[in-house]
A = this chain, B = another copy of it.
């Protein structure tokens, strides 16, 4: 008996995954083989997409949270007609190919987000679905549902064990994201063996407790999967989880249901045996039956038709609501409205001292009316981080017209959701917490950096000057640890003026994530600081002719080096003070500029930063010194900590003189 076309299609996915992993001699064949049935049903019967235009704004989003099963996604992309040639599948996991080990967002059409680190895709999906609801609330009008799509994801037991999945699921349930539909590959197998070794949760109970709609199906019964997807679509008040009981490496005579099929090739012999068992030509490689390909490729016509229908609707929308239509186009293109920068507040050096977190809050609230794409929130700390957009309501279940998100104490999911909001398009998302808790969300920050997403992190309470809360709440190593992430721009402004400039640069630059590090404590508005300097990353704030010593600092410590420079000048020592709000921006300057700020001939340098010294040696060199933290902080009023840990102008002056003396002795 000939297999029907559905079976042919499903087995094509399976054999492509087997072949690609075998050829690369590396990868995860078991998951694509196990989830081929359910994914096939989703992609051919439910997913609204146009392989011919992966950027169609109203497409459904599909996230492969279990990114190790990347060959499932690559197979589906190729088969349904995305611009991902078969030759690329044959180059799986090779240098320069479009088929890396885990799906990478960017150059591969149809890959909505970079996945692999478990739990991340699951949380990105919540952000994508939230973006859809927010955009719909802002742009849809009666009879014009121009924003109306679902977000699907395929998640694994590994995703569900990660804490971020609980956080994200809890928020999705809380917000009632009814158009979020997840398929859970319940295959009972992890790398270490059976999930029973470590995972005995009542998964339906858990998701129901978080407000989800839960169904359980046999993941190889395609009709049942389709029925469950229909049910999930008709459930509009709650996100849906469809638990698909599957068998890893389905079809493999000897590795079916085995941990051996999780993260390594089946082996040449087993590939052959599996193909035989599936009724496949056992020696054909990357074989795609014509009948299967034709069937898969109907997605192109369907997709083109669906997109055309939407475009017709959108054209009528633009006629009916020309301003909204223009605004939509601007938002989706990521362009800024003309004159947006005029609303930026100005801070005067004569004004009273102000914490940069407070200045930052004023900037955000000034920007909010002209930048409706600015949405975000904090991990239960907005009264402290000052990131609430006061003129706008909070986002809540059933009412997505707000701009403020209450993430709760879920920093990790906040990071993942921000990535989803940015990936969707139409938003400039921000998230906020204390700098020390950036540690709770490094994995999504890393992924935002890798994907170059324009996410904004507002990390306040940026040093030991948190004070009384003590070392658990005082960042010491976090500034360095953020600077270590490639592609992340870290900005630590010295005062309110630099804060405005930092925000301005952030708004103008969409090429990657930005971390704004802001003070808890009040800081004087320095007459020496200037916005033009901030965008160059480092600049001279106080100078003397032929400086013998250069003092460098960022953030709240700039005040100290300015005072120290004045003191040294009074003592007849020619000194320069440099504000270094951003190493990344400074490094991006031409060498001539960098050498003008830090002349190679002036070797005596002292850097001051209320954090670990790691990396400052780049700027102070071997004759220099870093006044930083070599231990964790302590609980005490911040002015006491400044004295105890040497963050005073006197101490800076003393160390500068000591360095000068030492340099003189060495000469």
Contact = CB atoms under 8 A, between A and B. Distances in A.
Contact of A446 (B173, B210, B381, B439): B439
A383 B192 contact: yes
Interface string A187-200: 00011100001111
A492 B487 CA distance: 25
Contacts of A437: 117, 443
A408 interface: yes
A406 B191 contact: no
Nearest to A383: B191
Contacts of A205: 205, 208-209
B436 A117 contact: yes
A524 interface: no
Nearest to A394: B197
Nearest to A156: B409
A305 interface: no
A471 B450 contact: yes
A629 B612 CA distance: 22
Interface stretch (A142-150, A163-171, A276-284): A163-171
A340 interface: no
A95 to B, nearest CB: 4
A202 B192 contact: no
Contact of A170 (B201, B209, B380): B201
Contacts of A259: 383
A630 B95 CA distance: 18
Nearest to A407: B198
Given A167-B161, A486-B629, A614 B614 contact: yes
Best-buried of A394, A396, A614 by chain B (most CB within 10 Å): A614
A162 interface: yes
Interface stretch (A99-107, A246-254, A501-509, A543-551): A99-107
Contacts of A442: 439-440, 442, 481
A570 interface: no
Given A480-B480, A614-B480, A632-B450, A210 B199 contact: no
Given A202-B209, A443-B440, A644-B95, A170 B174 contact: no
Interface string A103-116: 01000000000111
A485 interface: yes
A51 interface: no
Contact of A211 (B200, B394, B446, B615): B200
A167 B163 contact: yes
A332 interface: no
Contacts of A472: 67, 101-102, 104, 114-117, 447, 450
A657 interface: no
A635 interface: yes
A535 to B, nearest CB: 21
Chain A interface residue bracket vs B: 35 or more
Contact of A634 (B24, B95, B382, B413): B95
A622 interface: yes
Contact of A470 (B116, B436, B621, B629): B116
A98 to B, nearest CB: 10
Contacts of A173: 200-201
A229 interface: no
A102 B473 contact: yes
Contacts of A630: 486
A424 B473 CA distance: 24
Given A163-B412, A614-B480, A636 B94 contact: yes
Contacts of A600: 622
B486 A116 contact: no
A102 B635 contact: yes
Given A93-B470, A440-B162, A621-B621, A198 B210 contact: no
B468 A27 contact: yes
Given A116-B472, A198-B407, A486 B632 contact: yes
A90 interface: no
A617 interface: yes
Contacts of A608: none
A163 B163 contact: yes
A118 interface: yes
A272 interface: no
Interface of A: 24, 26-27, 67, 93-97, 100-102, 104, 114-119, 157-159, 161-167, 170-171, 173-174, 190-192, 197-203, 205-206, 208-211, 259, 263, 378, 380-384, 394, 396, 406-413, 436-437, 439-440, 442-443, 446-447, 449-450, 467-473, 476-477, 480-481, 483-487, 600, 603, 612, 614-615, 617-618, 621-622, 629-632, 634-637, 640-641, 644
Given A95-B644, A166-B167, A192-B380, 6 more contacts: A100-B635, A157-B409, A163-B164, A173-B200, A442-B481, A487-B632
The 10 A-B residue pairs whose C-beta atoms are closest, nearest first, are A163-B163, A100-B635, A205-B209, A166-B166, A116-B472, A198-B408, A95-B636, A477-B484, A101-B470, A93-B468
